[in-house]
Structure 1
Amino acid sequence: MEAIKETNFSFEGQTGFYRGKVRDVYYFEDRLAVVATDRISAFDVVLPRAIPYKGQVLNQIASLNLKATSDIVPNWVLATPDPNVTIGYHCEPYKVEMVIRGYLAGHAWREYKAGKRSICGVALPEGLKENDKLPEPVITPTTKADEGHDEDISREEILAKGLVSEEDYTKLEAYTRALFARGTELAAQQGLILVDTKYEFGKYNGEVYLIDEIHTPDSSRYFYSEGYADRQEQGEPQRQLSKEFVRQWLIANGFQGKEGQKVPEMTDEVVQGISDRYLELYEVFTGQKFEKEDYKEALQRIQQRVQENIFTTKN
């Protein structure tokens, strides 16, 4: 099964390189080129097999959403010269991720089910069920770990540790709420509910910029709107489009990223099933048919498009 697991380019004018969990980042003076590979991670662990077309799906959904929110906050993107590539400003990232939740799902539900009624310093009411809508969206930040697991952190701890100034953090909160509201509107147009998501921010020339990808199945969770209320009333699982199904498959096979646990075997059938779900999310979210990019000579294509566009793209 063809997929882009990693890239190892050497570009003219390149000043650095960083391999993240799923993206390969090439640095050039004040800008960077981000290659969305087909690697997939869960529980902060990169899984052993890449997922066909996953990188293209994430990059194209992120590109659409960054354009659709550029009136709210400036973002890092200068150009998307290839389905797997984004070129943009090299911003200095904040050491926190702004997670916002409109529904009690995923990690928040697992914490709530374990008896916690406060997450990241935010109080949650009694009597909630999994996937219930929260009285209002809550911001539950995490640390941005260079290695290992991101960890929940409160607003108070962020300010006390000096991770973000109070002035900047107030801006990040306002941007996060406005972006979530816009994301909710865009999802509703396609019959989806934006359940929760995360945003990352950085600074460029002294200004706050939105960075990384937004509203993708890796950074967000979506439910189908149709039948949501009936399923909640009857205590049934929600139909969702997100990476949560990968986490649930791992949990069911005894893996949660903890020490001593082994990633279960990813058969061709499992890999194909994950790929199909990513294509489904793309088509439901965008309302467009997904056009599969040819994997033949994909690396040469990506390399050429980065080199041609990295310095010609205007500020």
Structure 2
Amino acid sequence: MAQCVRTSLNPPKTLLRNPAKSSPVSSPLFHLPKSKKHPRISMSQQNQQELSLDSLINSTRKEEVLGAIKGSLSNCLWETNLLKTVPALKSKVRGKVRDIYDGGDYLVLVTTDRQSAFDKILASIPFKGQVLNETSLWWFDRTRHITQNAIVSAPDKNVTIAKKCSVFPVEFVVRGYVTGSTDTSLWTVYKNGVRNYCGNALPDGLVKSQKLPSNILTPTTKADDHDVPITPEEIVKSGLMTEADYCEASSKALSLFEYGQRVALEHGLILVDTKYEFGKGSDGSVLLIDEVHTPDSSRYWIAHSYEERIQKGLEPENVDKEFLRLWFKDHCNPYEDKVLPDAPEDLVCELAWRYIFLYETITKSKFELPLTEEPIHDRISRNVELALSSLR
């Protein structure tokens, strides 16, 4: 791998206190791995499926699955208690969306239907956990030419069994466009005057939803309450990662994103931004973990209408959870209010459909609605027990 780090003759003696508002360092510690600059190509010139918002809103497939979605509103997977049903499991860590169990030599990751945004749990979305798990598995399988991953098996629609590894406490956020509505989104910090973000110099004159000249990496620390933007220099100086590990992971993140953008565009979508997580295996290899290009970790727009809408000053048509974020921002202060309003049922059903729509559009596979006769928790317990028995 090409070296992406060089040591300055006079490196700074103190860390930058505010990476979002810091000025460019004249003698940087890092040369970030840059994504390739490609000529701007009209969306209509790409070999892509012509996808429209109408196909999302009025498709016969939507009517087909809405009944199942509404019928499962009271049967969402909000919480799991596999410690009571699977004796081989030792402990549990509850994340925002995933319940992670210690299975000895392996981790058992159960993707629930919990919906998070603004660092809070907002709702339960029918079939969401299955969509995220199966979407990630599809991408994990198709990105092996870029990086190794920690996946061992997937014994259930909501479950992945993975190798144990030492997780880097950094999220690798890759962005291709200036957009977003959260406090750490690129558009939010840019409109507030920031022109150097996580080590990336940003030109004046950008408008919301504009494509960046090249993809950029804006890492954040992994925190329980709120992710914090951080520069590459700070990552190494604070001991979060070594220079070599950061260079390898950041290079893989940019390559994964460029590949994801190509695949998405072939299917009529724009992969706008996403985040990756990596860990270090027992053999020292850097492994891709967690999730890949899901509607939870990524922002997707419909490609066919993008240029026309931008020229008219309109928001791109999105196929992710952004409209849920915007609803909460319109009805409360999601960062400061202690009690948030309940998401309306029609909003929950629409989000469930969008997640299924995105899965089917990307994978070209029909989403298999699970049988509702068996409680989800019983099914997961049975499948996890069988899978762990086969690994002993």
Tell whether the structures are fold-level matches, with TM greater than 0.5: yes
Match of 1:172 among 232, 249, 255: 249
Task: Give the aligned partner of residue 118 of structure 2.
Answer: 43
Give the match for residue 12 of structure 1: 87
**Whole-angstrom CA distance in 2 between matches of 1:271 and 1:150:** 25
2: CA distance, partners of 1:139 / 1:311: 41
**Structure 1 spans left out of the alignment, 5+ residues:** none
| CA-CA distance at 1:285 after TM superposition | 2.0
- Deviations along 1:119-153, whole A, 9 cap, x unmatched? 112111111111111010000000001x2001111
Task: Map residues 60-139 of structure 1 onto 2, 5 A cutoff.
Answer: 60-106=134-180, 107-139=185-217
Q: Is the 8 A contact 1:33 1:310 kept in 2?
A: no
Q: Please list the CA deviations of residues 77-134 of structure 1 after superposition, one character each: whole Å capped at 9, or x if unmatched.
A: 0111111111110111001000010111111111111121121121111111111110
2:296 to 172, 196, 218: 218
How far off is 1:261 after superposition? 4.5
User: Secondary structure at 1:218's aligned position in 2?
Assistant: coil
Looking at structure 2, the residues matched to 13 and 302 of structure 1 have their Cα atoms a distance apart, in angstroms, of: 14
1:292 counterpart = 2:365: no
Q: Letter of the aligned partner of 2:266 in structure 1?
A: Q
Deviations, residues 37-76 of structure 1 (Å, cap 9, x unaligned): 10011011012x3110100110110000000101211101
Q: Is the 8 A contact 2:166 2:281 kept in 1?
A: yes
Q: Does 1:239 align with 2:317?
A: yes
After TM superposition, give the deviation of residue 266 of structure 1 in Å: 2.0
Larger strand fraction of residues: 1
Letter in 1 for 2:119: D
CA contact (8 A) 1:255 1:262 kept: no
Give, in angstroms, the shift of residue 264 of structure 1.
1.6
Alpha-carbon separation, structure 2, partners of 1:311 and 1:255: 47
- Judge which range, 302-311 or 196-205, deviates more: 302-311
State whether residues 78 and 313 of structure 1, in contact with CA within 8 Å, keep that contact through their aligned partners in structure 2.
no
Greater C-alpha radius of gyration: 2
Contact 1:120–1:155 under 8 Å retained in 2: yes
Residue of structure 1 in register with 2:272 after alignment = 195
Match in the other structure for 1:248: 326
**How far apart are the structure 1 equivalents of 2:292 and 2:302?**
19
Partner secondary structure for residue 152 of structure 2 = strand
Contact persistence 1:255–1:264 (CA under 8 A): no
What letter is aligned with 2:104? Answer: E
Deviates more, 1:6-15 or 1:66-75: 6-15
Shift, 1:256, TM fit: 2.7
Contact 2:93 2:100 in 1 (8 A): yes
Deviation at 1:4, TM superposition (A): 0.8
Give the secondary structure class of the aligned counterpart of 2:82: coil
Write the distance in 2 (CA, Å) between the matches of 1:237 and 1:313. 49
Q: How many residues align?
A: 311
Q: 1:184 is matched with which residue? A: 261
Q: CA–CA distance in 2 between the matches of 1:126 and 1:256?
A: 30
Of the structure 1 ranges 7-16 and 245-254, higher mean CA displacement relative to structure 2 is found in 7-16
Contact 2:219 2:231 in 1 (8 A): yes
1:271 equivalent in structure 2: 348
Separation (CA, whole Å) in 2 of partners of 1:116 and 1:215: 27
Where 1:173 maps in the other structure, the secondary structure is: helix
Code of the residue aligned with 1:200 in structure 2: it is: E
Q: Distance in 1 between matches of 2:277 and 2:333?
A: 27
CA RMSD of aligned residues (A): 1.4
| TM-superposed deviation, 1:269 | 2.2
**Distance in 2 between the 1:13 and 1:97 partners?**
30
SS in 2 for 1:13: coil
Matched, 1:25 2:137: no
Secondary structure of the residue that 1:242 maps to in structure 2? coil
Deviation at 1:313, TM superposition (A): 4.2
One-letter amino acid of the counterpart of residue 210, structure 1: L
- How far 1:297 moved relative to its partner? 2.1
Question: Which amino acid is 1:192 matched to?
Answer: L
Q: TM-score, normalised by structure 1?
A: 0.95
Which runs of no fewer than 5 residues in structure 2 stay unpaired? 1-72
Residue number in structure 1 paired with 2:388: 310
How far the C-alpha of 1:311 sits from its partner, in A, is: 4.3
Please report how far the alpha carbon of residue 16 of structure 1 lies from its aligned counterpart in structure 2 after TM superposition.
Answer: 1.7
Contact 1:79 1:313 in 2 (8 A): no
Whole-angstrom distance in 2 between the partners of 1:24 and 1:294: 22
